[in-house]
Structure 1
Amino acid sequence: MAPTPPSMTHLSATAMVPRWPLRFAPRRRLLDTSSLPDTKNQPTRVERGERKTKLQKYASKQQRPLLSLLHARTSSLLGGSSLSVACSLLSLSSPPWRMDATTSTGASSSLPLHLIIDDALALVSPLQQSFQRSQRHCFGDSAPGEFPLAANPSIVLHVLTSCNLEPDDLAHLEASSILLFLSNATCSFFRKPANFPPDFQLSMSELAALDMCQKRAIFKPMTQQEREMFKQRCGGSWKLVLRFIMAGEACCRREKSQAIAGPGHSIAVTTSGAVYTFGSNSSGQLGHGSLEEEWRPRIIRSLQGIRIIQAAAGAGRTMLVSDAGRVYAFGKDSFGEVEYAAQGSRVVTTPQMVESLKDIYIVQAAIGNFFTAVLSREGCVYTFSWGNDMKLGHQTEPNDVQPHLLAGPLENIPVVQIAAGYCYLLALACQPSGMSVYSVGCGLGGKLGHGSRTDEKYPRLIEQFQALNIQPVVVAAGAWHAAVVGKDGRVCTWGWGRYGCLGHGNEECESVPKVVESLVNVRAVHVATGDYTTFVVSDKGDVYSFGCGESSSLGHNTITEGNNRHTNVLSPELVTSLKRTKERVAQISLTNSIYWNAHTFALTDSGKLYAFGAGDKGQLGTELVAQQSERGTPERVDINLS
């Protein structure tokens, strides 16, 4: 049961910080005035009036909403602090008051400036105003202590849900009524029922928490009964539900290493969020500010202070996603023109934030040959495209610099994972009936899984999984074939079957998902697909591979003696060379491009990285013997990702 916030009726201007329960303790930054402007040289009343008039004219001219203008103005004044912005938008007053020593030790004893929302656009109120005038201005002449926005609470709700507040922030608002900087004034505005749907009995802060929960991908597909059960398990508070969901999101984002075997170049992300790159660098895709190849892992120094949680690699291009939901991109010219509009430059050699995505919290990126897709925290898929081969459901010019929401059924269904092939996209979606897979793009070879080779302009549900009684939990998109791991550990493959990459013992295409029968006694937990190659990792850490043996990327060391031919593997075989490392493999990454010789990474539970396959550009991160361009057995890369 959530602790009941303490009553605020006993508080005064000289004792504003009670002893909260730990989980609801107000943060030190909430009451820190160090980021506020200096009070010296405050503008005169005439100057303030002129500034107010100019802003009103500007807002009218540009037809910008009042809240947007206030948010931008307040963000610049208060340094972007979420709660500071929200509180300023909610009419913080500024009479003198004393801070508790546990709240701030170096801050000024009074707030120098405040912003308020009134019937029109009000701006700055200086410290020299008397306490009585501040009270009249903030709470109204006729009813001191009454919050003026009570007449239009929808504005308050909009502010609370737009400023990225955390559960603790909402709890602090409800518990302390942060507006109570005036003595002898009590306010239950954030605690009393707000009379808004879907529950008219919820308080303003509870409604804000519920609204933010409803934007989460994991929450959207829940039934009403499941949501109520979830709420009761979390102490009956939507703020605690939001905290639980955010904690789960943080666990998924943090302390997970990753290795990406890109087309000719490689990316390694440590658990601390540092990024190492190596291999081909003809387009600046390594991010080191030059075009020189790197044969050993080298850290990207310009990302210092930014924690990366996910990476994606394409032909001559790289994308990185930070734990703050920002996307950074660098590399090839077409990628630069589309993703971050590099003016006058054909290559970008250092990470640049994708400005068009800065207002969307991104958790995953995927790169195909002619498109890029990103997944938001809310479970929405956005795409860019270039060239004429892939538009993914949005009617735009071939080269479009703006992200577009993937049109079709996925607009209303939350997605939890995306995977990009050469010219198609897979999306793992979460619905009340369970997990499902949608596909969109080029249908050549049957890789969309709908029983035909027809292209799909909009995402379409792959219905075969229901017939197989398989609930997908992991999707992988190779260049021309795809794979899924089910909740029960079964593996399905479909698409172009060349070189045996589907694992069915032949090279025939499959236009609908088909269970790999030779793996029915193996409980799979991970699958990776590349250019006609497939790897499966079992729950015991064993690795199986099948498909094209070119470049020794299968790990079987299948070079035939005498004529140096590579052998294809039509059915899954245990990669014994990885077994000999005596390490438990957690993740496999394969080159997913038809234009580059393939290489493979195996990442272990302990953070060790093993590489094999093509290494002619340094993409293995290990030295090769003279005149050798590939490695048939795994070799340890000199880097620890844990």
Structure 2
Amino acid sequence: MAACGVGELGAGQGNRHVWCLKGWDFGDLTILVSIVRATCTFFSKPANFAPNSALSLPELAAFDMCQKRTMFKLMTQEEKECLKQQCGGSWKHVLRYILVREKNVSRVIAGPGHSIVITTSGDVYSFGANCSGQLGLGDSEDRFKPCLIRSLQGIRITQAAVGSRRTMLVSDTGRVYAFGKDSFRGAESVEAAHTNQITTPKVVESLKGVFVVQAVIGGYFSAVLSREGRVYTFSWGKSERLGHNSEPSDVEPRLLSELEDVPVAYISAGNCYLLMLAYQPNGMSVYSVGCGLGGKLGHGCKNNKGMPKLIEQFRSLSFKPVSIAAGTWHAAALGADGRVCTWGWGHTGCLGHGDEEYKAVPTVVEGLRNVKAVHLSTGEYTTFVVADNGDVYSCGSGESLNLAFQGDDEAEEEEGPDFSTPSIVESLKALNKKVAQVCPTNASYWLNSEMGHPHTFAVMESGELCAFGGGTRGQLGVKLLEGVEKVSVPMHVPIDLS
């Protein structure tokens, strides 16, 4: 696809130039349209910087769009140039690098027992279980409706990570705030059970020297991504599980130095492993590190990897990943052409290949051959795929109603639910609203059973938010009737995402 136009250069340059975006094949129409719009906006309003005759018009437009990001504004000129070189020597590539992360990040998080929602203005709402202060509201009482975290007013939050009894928030100025269980180790354990609790958002002091743009919480570790594309991990470092050999309870951020020269655009955490979507001018690549049981690292084996390793299978599939999702025990990737790959544990059919066998390398989901996917997400044993027409497909465990399937309960008790190939989620289709994102709980149920069954959010293009699944602790944003533990019909969540 190409987008062309005619633009006038600044005063003193004298020439009219025909510019063309041909070759900006970002593998994603949304990103391309964003850049085309940015270019048009650039010519209709004053720029944020002095004219630069050395730059082409598309380069100027891309640079102007970068300037609108707080993370970019706060960089020194030297840091900006360094990022430009890391991304391939072009401001268009820098903008693409930023947009890839922004498109992948969700503002709605379904944690184990509690939920976090971020509005477009950067306000944060929390609700659900609050036994360790993980709602950030100054106490430890559960909430059954969305509550604004007022202590953060005046701070624009852009991203959240939710784990077992813990929450981390990232601001547009690169600060990380944490509350709940005072441990970077996500899963509940004997060692972590008696840690201190923080009931209001507190700046993570050890990260003050790092401008953070994303945080994630896995089952046994936490990780953050810097604006320069560097990845830092906390905890679970023994035997070099995550690129370093510190103690599992380590609270210091440790750089994954093996990827120091590879700009990472997005990270995703499973229970005991980490996926990283790395930026390349000619297409994205995926690295993995951590526990390899079930083949979830994607390297054709079940071995652990203490150092990040490139998943090479995508090349042989001619698959250009633009999005990744590390489920608790399995993983998925979205390709530029709309194909979906899954790999790892196949329990309950969560990989969508028609069986429960594990896959040690990324494998294309044939059941979605006629579907162009635009979004995907993974939970413990669930996978969701959103098609370009707004239909939602899912596969995996229907036992908790986390997939919103409404089957015959008696038949399921006898035979067990079987959703090993992707099927349309009819309860969402019945809403007659186009779905943009689906966000399921991505945590081990057996480690968090006291929080109730997993739950899932569906974000509509209109900004409306719906939820289904477990809700005994208030994580759906509404109080269920007495004796009701979970719901399969999506319920409206009373919150304005805008």
The TM-score range, normalised by the shorter chain, is 0.7 to 0.9
Confirm or deny: 8 A CA contact 1:281 1:316 kept in the other structure.
yes
The correspondence for 2:203, drawn from 346, 353, 373, is: 353
The correspondence for 2:318, drawn from 466, 469, 482, is: 469
Specify the alignment match of 1:603 in structure 2.
Answer: 459
The correspondence for 1:528, drawn from 361, 367, 377, is: 377
Corresponding position: 1:394 with 2:244: yes
How has the CA–CA distance of structure 1 residues 24 and 453 changed in structure 2, closer, same or farther, with 3 Å as cutoff?
Answer: closer
Specify the alignment match of 2:132 in structure 1.
Answer: 283
Corresponding position: 1:334 with 2:183: yes
Distance 1:166 1:283 in 2: 35
Identity of aligned residues (%): 53
CA shift for structure 1 position 23: 4.0
Q: Give 1:94-105 correspondences, 5 Å limit.
A: none
Larger RCO (CA within 8 A; separation ≥ 6): 2
Distance 2:489 2:150 in 1: 31
Question: Structure 1: which amino acid aligns with 2:484?
Answer: Q
The correspondence for 1:480, drawn from 329, 340, 355, is: 329
Distance 1:257 1:490 in 2: 20
SS for the counterpart of 1:557 is coil
Question: Structure 2: which amino acid aligns with 1:628?
Answer: V
SS for the counterpart of 1:329 is strand
How has the CA–CA distance of structure 1 residues 403 and 590 changed in structure 2, closer, same or farther, with 3 Å as cutoff?
Answer: same
Specify the alignment match of 1:591 in structure 2.
Answer: 441
How has the CA–CA distance of structure 1 residues 574 and 247 changed in structure 2, closer, same or farther, with 3 Å as cutoff?
Answer: closer
Specify the alignment match of 1:507 in structure 2.
Answer: 356
Specify the alignment match of 1:212 in structure 2.
Answer: 79
CA shift for structure 1 position 481: 0.2
Corresponding position: 1:626 with 2:497: no
Confirm or deny: 8 A CA contact 1:394 1:407 kept in the other structure.
no
CA shift for structure 1 position 221: 3.4
Distance 2:411 2:481 in 1: 19
SS for the counterpart of 1:622 is coil
Distance 1:248 1:388 in 2: 32
CA shift for structure 1 position 605: 1.2
After the TM superposition, list the runs of 4 or more consecutive aligned residues in structure 1 that deviate by more than 3 angstroms.
1-5, 21-26, 164-167, 244-254, 386-391, 561-566
CA shift for structure 1 position 334: 2.2
Query: Could you report, residue by residue, the CA deviation over 1:146-183 in whole angstroms, capped at 9, with x for unpaired residues?
Result: xxxxxxxxxxxxxxxxxx9987x99xxxxxxxxxxxxx
Distance 1:247 1:425 in 2: 23
Distance 1:618 1:394 in 2: 38
Specify the alignment match of 1:113 in structure 2.
Answer: none
SS for the counterpart of 1:577 is helix
Q: What are structure 2's unaligned runs of at least 5 residues?
A: 1-8, 14-44, 51-69, 187-193
The correspondence for 1:547, drawn from 396, 401, 423, is: 396
Question: Structure 2: which amino acid aligns with 1:221?
Answer: C
SS for the counterpart of 1:434 is coil
The correspondence for 1:405, drawn from 242, 255, 264, is: 255
Corresponding position: 1:376 with 2:226: yes
Specify the alignment match of 1:580 in structure 2.
Answer: 430
How has the CA–CA distance of structure 1 residues 253 and 326 changed in structure 2, closer, same or farther, with 3 Å as cutoff?
Answer: farther
CA shift for structure 1 position 482: 0.1
Question: Structure 1: which amino acid aligns with 2:253?
Answer: P
Query: Could you report, residue by residue, the CA deviation over 1:422-447 in whole angstroms, capped at 9, with x for unpaired residues?
Result: 00000001124421100000000000
Distance 1:533 1:384 in 2: 27
Confirm or deny: 8 A CA contact 2:110 2:116 kept in the other structure.
yes
Compute the TM-score of the two structures, normalised by the length of structure 1.
Answer: 0.62
Specify the alignment match of 1:439 in structure 2.
Answer: 288
Specify the alignment match of 2:32 in structure 1.
Answer: none
Query: Could you report, residue by residue, the CA deviation over 1:2-29 in whole angstroms, capped at 9, with x for unpaired residues?
Result: 5579xxxxxxxxxxxxxxx954689xxx
Query: Could you report, residue by residue, the CA deviation over 1:41-72 in whole angstroms, capped at 9, with x for unpaired residues?
Result: xxxxxxxxxxxxxxxxxxxxxxxxxxxxxxxx
SS for the counterpart of 1:571 is coil
Q: Give 1:122-271 correspondences, 5 Å limit.
A: 209=77, 211-216=78-83, 220-222=86-88, 227=90, 249=98, 258-271=107-120
Corresponding position: 1:571 with 2:437: no
Question: Structure 2: which amino acid aligns with 1:450?
Answer: H
Confirm or deny: 8 A CA contact 1:321 1:365 kept in the other structure.
yes
Specify the alignment match of 1:112 in structure 2.
Answer: none
CA shift for structure 1 position 563: 7.6
Q: Give 1:40-59 correspondences, 5 Å limit.
A: none
Specify the alignment match of 2:151 in structure 1.
Answer: 302
Distance 1:274 1:368 in 2: 24
Distance 1:24 1:261 in 2: 38
How has the CA–CA distance of structure 1 residues 445 and 246 changed in structure 2, closer, same or farther, with 3 Å as cutoff?
Answer: closer
Distance 1:622 1:373 in 2: 31
SS for the counterpart of 1:600 is strand
Question: Structure 2: which amino acid aligns with 1:379?
Answer: G
Query: Could you report, residue by residue, the CA deviation over 1:279-325 in whole angstroms, capped at 9, with x for unpaired residues?
Result: 11111100001110001111101001011111110011001111111
CA shift for structure 1 position 624: 1.5
Confirm or deny: 8 A CA contact 1:415 1:427 kept in the other structure.
yes
Question: Structure 2: which amino acid aligns with 1:375?
Answer: L
Confirm or deny: 8 A CA contact 2:237 2:243 kept in the other structure.
no
Query: Could you report, residue by residue, the CA deviation over 1:329-351 in whole angstroms, capped at 9, with x for unpaired residues?
Result: 111132399xxxxxx97100010
Q: What are structure 1's unaligned runs of at least 5 residues?
A: 6-20, 27-163, 171-207, 231-240, 338-343
Distance 1:519 1:263 in 2: 29
Structure that is richer in helix per residue? 1
Question: Structure 1: which amino acid aligns with 2:229?
Answer: G
Query: Could you report, residue by residue, the CA deviation over 1:537-562 in whole angstroms, capped at 9, with x for unpaired residues?
Result: 11111100110112111011225148
Distance 1:292 1:470 in 2: 47
Bigger Cα displacement from structure 2, 525-534 vs 256-265 = 256-265
Confirm or deny: 8 A CA contact 2:348 2:419 kept in the other structure.
yes
CA shift for structure 1 position 568: 3.1
Query: Could you report, residue by residue, the CA deviation over 1:54-96 in whole angstroms, capped at 9, with x for unpaired residues?
Result: xxxxxxxxxxxxxxxxxxxxxxxxxxxxxxxxxxxxxxxxxxx
Distance 2:100 2:299 in 1: 35
Confirm or deny: 8 A CA contact 2:185 2:222 kept in the other structure.
no
Structure that is richer in strand per residue? 2
Distance 1:534 1:528 in 2: 6
CA shift for structure 1 position 247: 11
SS for the counterpart of 2:79 is helix
How has the CA–CA distance of structure 1 residues 562 and 523 changed in structure 2, closer, same or farther, with 3 Å as cutoff?
Answer: closer
How has the CA–CA distance of structure 1 residues 452 and 484 changed in structure 2, closer, same or farther, with 3 Å as cutoff?
Answer: same
CA shift for structure 1 position 582: 1.6
Distance 2:117 2:320 in 1: 31
Distance 2:478 2:342 in 1: 32
Compute the TM-score of the two structures, normalised by the length of structure 2.
Answer: 0.79
Question: Structure 1: which amino acid aligns with 2:341?
Answer: C
Confirm or deny: 8 A CA contact 2:241 2:291 kept in the other structure.
no
Distance 1:627 1:498 in 2: 29
Specify the alignment match of 1:60 in structure 2.
Answer: none
Distance 2:201 2:239 in 1: 27
Distance 1:369 1:166 in 2: 32
SS for the counterpart of 2:400 is helix
Bigger Cα displacement from structure 2, 360-369 vs 391-400 = 391-400
Query: Could you report, residue by residue, the CA deviation over 1:225-268 in whole angstroms, capped at 9, with x for unpaired residues?
Result: xx3xx5xxxxxxxxxx8xx95799599769x9721010111111
